[in-house]
């Protein structure tokens, strides 16, 4: 087995596919596994290392696959296990790894485990979920609040107890304090590893365990209080419990029995960076983790540099980070950070390609797609329906992938798409961008090629050269190569003194007017530069 420092996933780029919205093969308006398989050559052409598939398991689809009724099956709307096996084989033939979502913190209420558990405390599955008696006044056992806009407790009349759900009431939490639950989850992991998957993305991994005393969460300080009830308290007791760590170690032991596999955790915490390190430090927990640090407002260049440097210091130096700037749960980065400006969308793609860590590229991000506006009458997301118009939910980043500019539904389906295809995306469709050498799609391929060709970009150290409110300049330094990366994220032109005569400019990537003027790097607003440099000119 290769040493972990040489593992394929370190510095890799994984392309996230949201199956419902990627490609529909049977005209029912919903993307499926056969559609994904047909489009895998396109994914391979991007130069990424693999795909991450969001859930395709049997589900009532209240939360569109993140409410699972059978962790070892395929929902008929997406295909069959045979279709999945064929997809994995095709991906591997194209030298693409396959990483799949695993939703273990909770199940759908229809899951056979919960249907047994709700019958009463004498049932064999009685302790597989989190049950608690009411307080003397009948109120729930704690004040915990869900990010879905409700309390985390629902009364079950059959048991005359409350059950815990950190998300929708129809998504009860599994009880990871029960060894039998852990064994069942590890069996699920082995089922998919035996089928050839290359890794797991672990949904809400810091939600696996709760405080068994059901201690109330304290309120947020006034200056940090949000509008939702969940944003009015500090989530100290319903998530991020220390008992999660031994389970992660058990999972790592199981996965180490399968060569070249890895697990990446999704972390949503008030202490994201600290939690990422805690879950991944050393070699006995998870391989890597990502958080919401780059999935909200854009950090300042100084804050970005601080994040990157953090991973090379102390205990964090024994861990490996992952980064995403878009996914299926947040507004697309082209709108969230770039305000719909295509120049900024291209700049942020370049920035992602230069980060130290494993990176995730969300479908359509390579096209520079902005966030879609979905009318209320077409909304599918339960969160968006409940919080409209203050928060329009997650449908705007889940609209169909645009394949053909002139085709109905942009070539996603020949039927009626489950979400409306965004007319504004037609001009950015794959076929339109394939025909334009200056397109964002072609830039994405060049960025992926740079990352693959330069070990410094995949694995090298991060050396901050300058970071303020607008300008970010850093070097990625490997044993045999060095790459200078510069980004003007502000609204005024900037210049950066290089201190050396740049060479090797034939390999450089210049975006939006970035250029060399003598020994200075000139960067207009939105500009970026990725400049490979001779190895003898070492990091300062």
- Catalytic positions: 203, 266
Mode of pairing for the β-strands spanning 482-488 and 131-132: unpaired
How many Cβ atoms sit within 10 Å of the Cβ of residue 111? Answer: 25
Read off φ and ψ for residue 447, nearest 5 degrees: -65, -45
DSSP string, 408-448: GGGGS-SS--SSPPPGGGGGG-HHHHHT-TTSHHHHHHHHH
Contact 229, 145 (CB under 8 A): yes
Task: Convert 432-457 to b/e letters by CB count within 10 Å (16 or more is b).
Answer: bbeeeeebbbebbbebbebbbebbbb
CA distance 426 to 285: 44
**The 3-state secondary structure of 212-266, one letter per residue:** CCCCCCCECCHHHCCCCHHHHECCCCCCCCCCHHHHHHHHHHHHCCCCCCEEEEE
Q: Which of 333, 396, 402, 431 is nearest to 23 (CA)?
A: 402
Q: Is 325 exposed, middle or buried (0-12, 13-18, 19+ CB in 10 A)?
A: buried
Q: Give the H/E segment covering residue 308.
A: helix 301-310
**Both tokens assigned to 125:** 């599955």
Q: Is 314 exposed, middle or buried (0-12, 13-18, 19+ CB in 10 A)?
A: exposed
Task: Convert 207-243 to b/e letters by CB count within 10 Å (16 or more is b).
Answer: bbbbbeebeebeebeeeeeeebebebbebebbbbbee
Give 183's contacts (C-beta < 8 A, 6+ positions apart). Answer: none
- Helix, strand, coil percentages (3-state) for the chain, rounded to 5, are 30, 20, 50
Instruction: Determine the Cα angle at 344 with ends 341 and 350, to 5°.
Output: 150
**Sign of the CA dihedral with 504 first, then 506, 507, and 513 last:** positive
Contact 68, 111 (CB under 8 A): yes
Q: Which of 408, 402, 454 is nearest to 426 (CA)?
A: 402
Mode of pairing for the β-strands spanning 50-53 and 13-17: parallel
Q: Give the H/E segment covering residue 382.
A: helix 382-387
């Amino acid at each position: 087995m290769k040493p972990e420092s040489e593992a394929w996933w370190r510095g890799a780029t994984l392309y996230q596919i949201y199956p419902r919205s990627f490609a529909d093969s049977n005209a029912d308006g919903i993307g499926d596994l056969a559609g994904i398989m047909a489009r895998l050559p396109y994914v391979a052409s991007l130069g990424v290392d693999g795909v991450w598939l969001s859930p395709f398991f049997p589900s009532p689809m209240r939360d569109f696959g993140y409410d699972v009724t059978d962790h070892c099956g395929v929902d008929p709307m997406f295909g069959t296990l045979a279709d999945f096996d064929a997809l994995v084989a095709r991906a591997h033939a194209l030298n693409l790894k396959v990483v799949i979502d695993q939703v273990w913190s909770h199940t759908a209420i229809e899951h056979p485990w919960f249907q047994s558990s709700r019958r009463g405390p004498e049932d064999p599955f009685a302790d597989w979920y989190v049950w608690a008696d009411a307080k003397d006044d009948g109120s729930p056992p704690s004040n915990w609040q869900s990010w879905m806009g409700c309390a985390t407790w629902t009364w079950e009349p059959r048991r005359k107890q409350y059950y815990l759900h950190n998300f929708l009431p129809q998504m009860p939490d599994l009880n990871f304090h029960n060894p039998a639950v852990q064994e069942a989850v590890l069996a699920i992991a082995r089922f998919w590893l035996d089928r050839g998957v290359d890794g797991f993305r672990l949904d809400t991994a810091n939600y696996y365990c709760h405080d068994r005393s059901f201690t109330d969460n304290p309120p947020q300080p006034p200056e940090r209080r949000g509008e939702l009830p969940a944003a009015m308290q500090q989530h100290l007791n319903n998530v991020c419990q220390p008992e999660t760590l031994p389970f992660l170690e058990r999972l790592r032991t199981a996965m180490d029995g399968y060569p070249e596999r890895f697990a990446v955790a999704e972390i949503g915490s008030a202490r994201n960076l600290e939690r990422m390190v805690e879950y991944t430090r050393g070699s006995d927990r998870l391989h890597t983790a990502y958080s919401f640090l780059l999935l909200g407002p854009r950090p300042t260049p100084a804050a970005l540099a601080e994040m990157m440097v953090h991973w090379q210091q102390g205990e964090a130096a024994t861990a490996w980070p992952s980064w995403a700037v878009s996914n299926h749960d947040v507004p697309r980065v082209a709108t969230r950070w770039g305000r719909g400006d295509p120049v900024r969308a291209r700049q942020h793609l370049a920035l992602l390609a230069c980060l130290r860590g494993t990176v995730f590229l969300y479908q359509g991000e390579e096209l520079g797609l902005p966030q879609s506006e979905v009318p209320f009458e077409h909304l599918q997301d339960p969160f968006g329906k409940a919080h409209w118009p203050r928060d329009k939910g997650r449908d705007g980043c889940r609209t169909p992938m645009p394949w053909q500019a002139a085709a109905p539904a942009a070539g996603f389906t020949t039927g009626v798409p489950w979400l409306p295809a965004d007319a504004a995306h037609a001009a950015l469709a794959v076929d339109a961008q394939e025909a334009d050498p200056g397109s964002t799609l072609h830039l994405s391929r060049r960025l992926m090629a740079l990352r693959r060709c330069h070990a410094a970009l995949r694995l090298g150290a991060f050396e901050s050269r300058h970071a303020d409110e607008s300008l970010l300049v850093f070097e990625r330094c490997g044993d045999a190569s060095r790459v200078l990366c510069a980004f003007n994220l502000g609204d005024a032109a900037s210049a950066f003194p290089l201190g050396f005569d740049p060479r090797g400019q034939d390999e450089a990537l210049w975006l939006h007017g970035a250029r060399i003027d003598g020994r200075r790097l000139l960067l207009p607003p939105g500009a970026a530069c990725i400049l490979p440099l001779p190895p003898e000119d070492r990091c300062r």
